[in-house]
Amino acid sequence: MSFEEAHNVSDAMQALTYDRETDPWENSTGLRKTEVEKPRIDETSDYHDRSQVLIKPIMTGFCGSDRGIWFRSAFKDMIFKSLERDKKSSRVIGHELLGRVVELGTDAKRQYGLEVGDVVTTESHIPCGVCYQCRIGDTHVCADDKIIGISEDGCFAELVKLPAKNLWRTDITKIRPEVAAIQEPFGNAVHACTKVNLRGKRVAIVGCGTIGLFAVAVARAMGANYIIGVEPMESHAEMARRLGADVVLRPQLQNGSKDKPHKSDPELTERIRKLTDGVGVDVALEMSGVNSSVNNAIHAVRRGGDVILFGLKSGDAVIENFDRLIVDGISLHSVIGRRIFETWHITRHLLESRDPNIHDLIWEVILKRGEGTMFDFREYDAGDFQKAITTYPKVVIRY
- 3-state secondary structure string across 81-110: HHHHHHCCCEEECCCEEEEEEEEECHHHHH
> What does the pLDDT read at residue 6?
45
The neighbouring-strand residues paired with 229 are 205, 248
| Single-letter amino acid, residue 65 | S
d(CA 287, CA 282): 16
**Residue 120, class by beta-carbon neighbours within 10 Å (0-12 exposed, 13-18 middle, 19+ buried)?**
buried
Q: Tens place of pLDDT for every residue, the chain, 399 residues? A: 444 444 455 799 999 999 999 999 999 999 999 999 999 999 999 999 999 999 999 999 999 999 999 999 999 999 999 999 999 999 999 999 999 999 999 999 999 999 999 999 999 999 999 999 999 999 999 999 999 999 999 999 999 999 999 999 999 999 999 999 999 999 999 999 999 999 999 999 999 999 999 999 999 999 999 999 999 999 999 999 999 999 999 998 777 667 788 999 999 999 999 999 999 999 999 999 999 999 999 999 999 999 999 998 888 999 999 999 999 999 999 999 999 999 999 999 999 999 999 999 999 999 999 999 999 999 999 999 999 999 999 999 999
> What does the pLDDT read at residue 260?
87
> What does the pLDDT read at residue 1?
46
Model pTM score: 0.94
d(CA 311, CA 320): 18
DSSP string, 238-277: HHHHHHT-SEEE--SSBTB-SS-TT---HHHHHHHHHHTT
Dihedrals phi, psi of 204, to nearest 5 degrees: -110, 135
> What does the pLDDT read at residue 255?
72
The neighbouring-strand residues paired with 99 are 57, 120
> What does the pLDDT read at residue 115?
97
Rg of the chain's alpha carbons, rounded to an integer?
A: 22
d(CA 268, CA 328): 19
DSSP string, 217-234: HHHHHTT-SEEEEE-S-H
Q: Give 7's contacts (C-beta < 8 A, 6+ positions apart).
A: none
| Helix 266-275 and helix 291-300, axial crossing angle in degrees, nearest 10 | 30
Distances (CA, A) of 305 to 91, 292, 322, 331: 42, 19, 15, 6
The neighbouring-strand residues paired with 206 are 230, 286
> What does the pLDDT read at residue 2?
44
Contact 60, 160 (CB under 8 A): no
